Structure 1
Amino acid sequence: MRITVENIIVVLSLILFEAWFLSGYFSGNPEFEPAIGFLVSLGALFGKDKVKEKLGFGGEKNSHDLALFEEFQQVFPVEPTLRLLKETDFGNSFPKSSIQPLYDFADTWDTVEKEFFNKKLEKERKSLYEAAKELAMEFAKQTVPVGSGDFISVYPDNVRNEGDPRPQHVLDSAKILNDRSSEFTPKYESFVRICKAALKQ
């Protein structure tokens, strides 16, 4: 048995119920309540891990979910991708390599092996995946390469070279990406927090 806070609490409950029962027994006035409490605590001590495993907490299922969350953080990291989405004005050009993890996540995380056993985490993953897929589609639709380098932009080279003020469609594209990114980043952060709480990282 592992030493955890919950195990310590259950063991202390067993000791207290036993002391309560013995106190009444030796005083000639035994009570049934502490005996019942002792049996319930004993059942909790030996049965809680199986219950947690069925619900997707602990055991091999928890190991799978923890490994999957760690993989998620590698595929779709805070640096540089989330920071780019959170802080960039997409009226400016930006590195395609920094947004590539968003595309990778949208392309590869819709398969069965990317599912969490924990039902709450899986529900959150599906929600985040759908939001990421929509955001990736917007970036693909609204941006074009800048020259022959790594940068992309909502401002096409041929329009930029005309030297005129930015046309409305360029301003609209930047606003769409800025707004959608602002909507997406809290969902990402919420998913990470929920995973850390459930997996006790």
Structure 2
Amino acid sequence: MVERISEATLEALYDTIVTAPASCHSRFSEGQLPALVTQSSSLLRSLRRTDPVGNPSENHMYRRYVFPFLLAALTAATLSACATGPSASGSIPATLAATPSISTFRTLATQAGLADTLAANGPYTVFAPSDEAFKAVPAKTMAELQADKSKLQAVLNYHIVPKRLTAADIQPGSAKTLQGSEITLSRAGTFVTVEDAMVVQADIPASNGVVHVVDRVLMPPAKK
């Protein structure tokens, strides 16, 4: 006979998920873990209530067996992500292609002729703006960049640092980019910022570096 999992155990499992380090959360696709946690929290609250009139036995079975199993499985997945982490399966261009949320950056990097550079030995750290970040750039600015390859290269190179920097490696300070200017980096706990952009997905591995997704497009300072 399957023993019922206590509510205290359920609470402990739930706490394990929501307090897991951000580096573990980043192993899930963007938005997936928050959705799962929200659903789990909602279910946990609802299952504390009295069984609804109409089908009490079905709700009792779900409360006793099904939901604990699902929550335990989600906890195991979170801990597994912490323990193993992702593995690098290709160079940075392949990593960009395998990350749907940065397809605009990948397309622009190809147009700018940076594919060969990013496929070289490196190592490189790419702070790639998300597709949503590019949508916030004025249409006129985007048109100017796409019409001027040198300007486009400068902007994209401003997001690339010629060394490997995982989120854990980042310390308050600056780093020189391929564009030539320096960017300001900062980390507070699990929060990493690059200039005025925040890393929203960290440590996407590549064989020749690492990619971080950021929420803003950075513009290099004007040359004096």
So what's the TM-score if we normalise by structure 1?
0.29
Please state which structure has a larger fraction of its residues in helix.
1
So what's the TM-score if we normalise by structure 2?
0.27
Which structure has the larger Rg?
A: 1
Please state which structure has a larger fraction of its residues in strand.
2
